[in-house]
Amino acid sequence: MIQIQDTILSDDIFEAHFICDLCKCKGQCCVDGESGAPLTKEEYDRIKVILPVIWEELSPKAQELIRTQGIAYNDYDGELVTSIIGGDECVFTYFDEAGVCKCVIDKAYREGRIDVEKPVSCHLYPIRIQKYNDFTAVNYHRWSICKPATKLGRREGVKVYQFLKEPLIRYFGEEWYNEVCEAAKLLEQETGR
């Protein structure tokens, strides 16, 4: 474990390799799981505002579920999460011509049609954030569907914290990320990995 400011990072973030390999996993993390993607209240409010812009890109099943349940619900832990269709994919997903599951919010954001990014919990995956009274835990979540990502990351020599540079800066800020990079260099010198 490594402490950076008021966060504690698991060693895996510095040691494990990772690069999403969508051609192989097909975006399965947006389909499988026990509940939807965790949302902050601010994200929930912002997504509700941009919903009319992306509405026609949502599947008919997603539209129907949003009409009846809304864009989110509180899961069994009481956490606000995106609504999911039939216990499977997030309501904000779509499948491209190759059958890869992608995010409508992310697509609209990257096309410059909205100024709302996809939920930060999605952007940070496979990192999971857990807030406690005195610190925030930053952990690497291992999931069998991400085996292609670990293989590709190993082949390319990219660690989890490197792959997730953009979302980590989005969540914690550039100063924090620079400290992570410094800690990674020191860890590398100490362990030779």
Residues 163 and 180 in one domain: yes
Q: Which of 101, 123, 145 is the last residue of a domain?
A: 123
- For residue 3, the cross-strand partners are 8
Among the candidates 97, 123, 149, a domain finishes at 123
Strand partners, 11: none
Residues 185 and 118 in one domain: no
Instruction: Please give the pLDDT value at position 143.
Output: 80
- The rounded distance, in Å, linking the Cα atoms of 38 and 188 is 33
Same domain? 168 vs 118: no
Q: What b/e readout covers 49-63, taking b as 16+ CB neighbours within 10 angstroms?
A: ebbeebeeebbeebe
Output the pLDDT for position 192: 64
**Domain of residue 111, residue span:** 26-123
39, 2: one domain: no
Count of domains for the chain: 2
pLDDT of 52 reads 96
- Please indicate, yes or no, whether the overall pTM of this predicted structure exceeds 0.75: yes
- 102/177 same-domain check: no
Residue finishing a domain among 105, 123, 141: 123
Domain identity same for 133 and 119: no
Handedness of CA 47, 48, 54, 57 (dihedral sign): positive
Q: Are residues 96 and 179 in the same domain?
A: no
Q: Show the tokens assigned to 179.
A: 């400290």
Asked if 106 and 168 sit in the same domain, the reply is no
Tens-of-pLDDT digits for all 193 residues of the chain?
A: 888 899 999 999 999 999 988 878 877 777 777 788 899 999 999 999 999 999 999 999 999 999 999 999 998 888 899 999 988 889 999 989 988 889 999 999 999 999 999 999 989 999 999 889 999 999 998 888 889 999 999 999 999 999 999 999 999 999 999 999 999 998 888 776 5
How far are the Cα atoms of 74, 98, 185 from residue 11, in angstroms, in the given order?
Answer: 31, 35, 13
